């Protein structure tokens, strides 16, 4: 299991990078801090919504793998 965790973490990190790069461009950094982002979450539809949800899921999974990697 010890050798599995770093390999899984590398694979998940690559998938997370791909998911982030596939997201729609044009959302400014200011929308992340509350400016001009009133309808930020309601405009995602179709494949963009799936990519967004996958990014959140992969991020949580990556965090869990990192914690497990520290524990073992």
End-to-end, the C-alpha distance of the chain in Å comes to 9
34 assigned to some structural domain: no
Is-contact 14 61, C-beta < 8 A? no
35 assigned to some structural domain: no
55 assigned to some structural domain: yes
Q: What is the pLDDT of residue 45?
A: 84
Task: Read off the tokens for 24.
Answer: 């729609």
Task: Read off the tokens for 59.
Answer: 């991020």
User: CA neighbours within 13 Å on the CB side: how many for 72?
Assistant: 11
- Rounded Cα gap, residues 5 and 19, in angstroms: 21
Q: What is the chain's pLDDT, residue by residue, as a tens digit (72 residues)? A: 679 999 999 999 999 999 999 987 765 555 556 655 555 555 778 999 999 999 999 999 999 999 999 998
Domain count, the chain: 1
Q: Which domain holds residue 68?
A: 1-23+43-72
51 assigned to some structural domain: yes
């Amino acid at each position: 299991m010890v050798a599995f965790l770093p390999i899984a973490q590398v694979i998940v990190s690559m998938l997370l990078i791909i998911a982030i790069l596939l997201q729609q461009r044009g959302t400014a950094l200011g929308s992340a801090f509350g400016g001009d982002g009133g309808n930020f979450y309601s405009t995602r539809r179709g494949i963009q919504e799936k990519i967004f949800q996958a990014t959140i899921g992969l991020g949580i999974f990556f965090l869990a793998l990192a914690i497990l990697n520290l524990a073992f």
